[in-house]
């Protein structure tokens, strides 16, 4: 696995316009993003021989290949666990390229979520499915724990009890993300920052989570082109090297309902990923200029900071209160606005932002960006990346 480090690169990124009602099918959104990523890299569809996506994506690899004019495929893969798959798609693509299974792989994710299937709505049948996940959910669904917001709220309440965190601490995360989005023209909330008072006044979804603690539902698509670092250096854009990539799950893992662990206040799966990323890259928290953290719900941003070693247990609220996540702070988080501010494309738009920061083309460009940490969905088996400027 360590042989993967530095051998592959992201050579192109592409995205649709993020909206609440795209007026296009998910296949159209996926194809648009894939073609945009190939154009960004200076490649043609015929150059692609591999595709990777999420198990939840509605578009099969062969459908995307037909729609975009991609020909023969020698590699295709689907990564499990919802948003936890985001960085895992790049891991799978990089492994295929590094081992010679494929030459150029495109990772994609498309959502017709706001105008189509709503992810945040209750699913009363989730506890009755004849599967291992259905068995897990049968302990929770009959009692009303039916949505991601409800599952995270249970975790957040325990975190508050253990460390003295408050709803205002969660709110400061939302305020920072919306401030970043307000100066990003691609963001759904461009020009629309919020105050802490507005966060506190927003309606309850599931206590202690307000509406503004929850990411938006979006229509859109994002695609990434992964190839060898050597080949990427001859393409249109400066390559962004995949320095480290990892997946992980923790002991006692369930799908956002890991309530039976001895300690409910952490995200052990992110700790597994973080340790592997630091080991593979040879870097540590102090070497990262910015972090792109999966922010589907604000409490999990705090816990990720702790699991990844940016602060100690229970210290993330202090880091946020000090402005540490802001553009000018100690660790700017999600300069694009994240899923709370830019769009919710299952974290793939965060990987694209990391590439832009390393290229020096981001809307809210930071100075001296050499290494960026990116994380995928939390509360589920997850994944992460360390992306670096080509040296």
Q: Which string of DSSP letters, residue by residue, matches 107-140?
A: EEEEEETTTT--TTS--TTTTS-SSHHHHHHTTT
Write down the mean pLDDT value for the chain: 93
What is the number of other CB atoms lying within 10 angstroms of the CB of residue 39?
A: 14
In a domain, 74, yes or no: yes
In a domain, 54, yes or no: yes
What CATH number is associated with residue 308?
3.40.47.10
Would you please indicate which residues are annotated as catalytic (active-site) residues? 294, 344
Give percent of the chain above pLDDT 70.
95
Range 4-16 average pLDDT: 92
Alpha carbons 168 and 302: distance in angstroms, whole number: 12
Distances, alpha carbon 148 to alpha carbons 10, 49, 123, 173, 210, in Å: 31, 35, 10, 18, 13
Domain extent, residue 35, equals 2-116+216-389
In a domain, 141, yes or no: no
Alpha carbons 86 and 346: distance in angstroms, whole number: 7
In a domain, 191, yes or no: no
Give the pLDDT confidence of 281-310 residue by residue, as tens digits: 999 999 999 999 999 999 999 999 999 999
- Distance separating the N- and C-terminal Cα atoms of the chain: 21
CA 293, 298, 303, 305 torsion-angle sign: positive
Predicted TM-score of the model (pTM): 0.95
In a domain, 362, yes or no: yes
State how many domains the chain has: 1
CA 145, 146, 147, 151 torsion-angle sign: positive
In a domain, 172, yes or no: no
pLDDT band at 121 (very low <50, low <70, confident <90, very high): low
**116: pLDDT strictly greater than 60:** no
* Nearest alpha-carbon partner for 350 in 205, 184, 135: 184
Range 251-269 average pLDDT: 89
pLDDT band at 239 (very low <50, low <70, confident <90, very high): very high
In a domain, 177, yes or no: no
In a domain, 162, yes or no: no
């Amino acid at each position: 696995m360590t042989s993967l480090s530095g051998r592959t690169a992201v050579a192109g990124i592409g995205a649709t316009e993020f909206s609440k009602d795209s007026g296009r099918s998910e296949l159209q959104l996926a194809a648009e993003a894939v073609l945009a990523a190939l154009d960004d890299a200076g490649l043609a569809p015929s150059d692609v021989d591999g595709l990777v996506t999420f198990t939840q994506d509605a578009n099969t690899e062969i459908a995307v290949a037909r729609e975009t004019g991609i020909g023969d495929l020698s590699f295709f893969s689907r990564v499990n666990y919802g948003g936890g798959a985001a960085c895992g798609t790049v891991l799978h693509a990089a492994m295929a390229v590094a081992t010679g299974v494929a030459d150029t792989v495109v990772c994609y994710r498309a959502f017709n979520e706001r105008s189509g299937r709503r992810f945040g709505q209750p699913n009363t049948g989730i506890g009755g499915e004849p599967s291992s996940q259905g068995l897990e959910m049968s302990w929770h669904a009959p009692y009303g724990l039916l949505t991601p917001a409800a599952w995270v709220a249970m975790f957040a309440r325990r975190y508050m009890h253990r460390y003295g965190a408050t709803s205002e601490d969660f709110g400061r995360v939302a305020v920072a993300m919306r401030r970043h989005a307000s100066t990003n023209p691609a963001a759904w909330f461009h020009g629309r920052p919020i105050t802490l008072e507005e966060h506190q006044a927003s309606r309850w979804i599931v206590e202690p989570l307000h509406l503004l603690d929850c990411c938006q539902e979006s229509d859109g698509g994002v695609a990434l082109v992964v190839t060898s670092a050597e080949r990427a250096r001859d393409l249109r854009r400066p390559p962004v090297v995949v320095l480290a990539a990892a997946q992980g799950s923790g002991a006692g893992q369930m799908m956002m309902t890991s309530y039976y662990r001895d300690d409910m206040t952490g995200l052990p799966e992110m700790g597994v990923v973080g340790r592997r990323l630091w080991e593979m890259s040879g870097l540590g928290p102090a070497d990262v200029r910015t972090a792109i953290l999966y922010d589907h719900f604000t409490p999990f941003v705090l816990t990720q900071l702790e699991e990844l070693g940016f602060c100690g247990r229970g210290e993330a609220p202090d880091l946020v209160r000090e402005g540490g996540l802001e553009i000018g702070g100690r660790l700017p988080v999600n300069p694009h606005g994240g899923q709370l501010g830019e769009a919710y494309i299952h974290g793939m738009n965060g990987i694209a932002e990391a590439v832009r920061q390393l290229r020096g083309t981001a809307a809210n460009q930071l100075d001296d960006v050499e290494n960026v940490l990116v994380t995928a969905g939390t509360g589920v088996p997850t994944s992460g990346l360390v992306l670096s400027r080509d040296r």
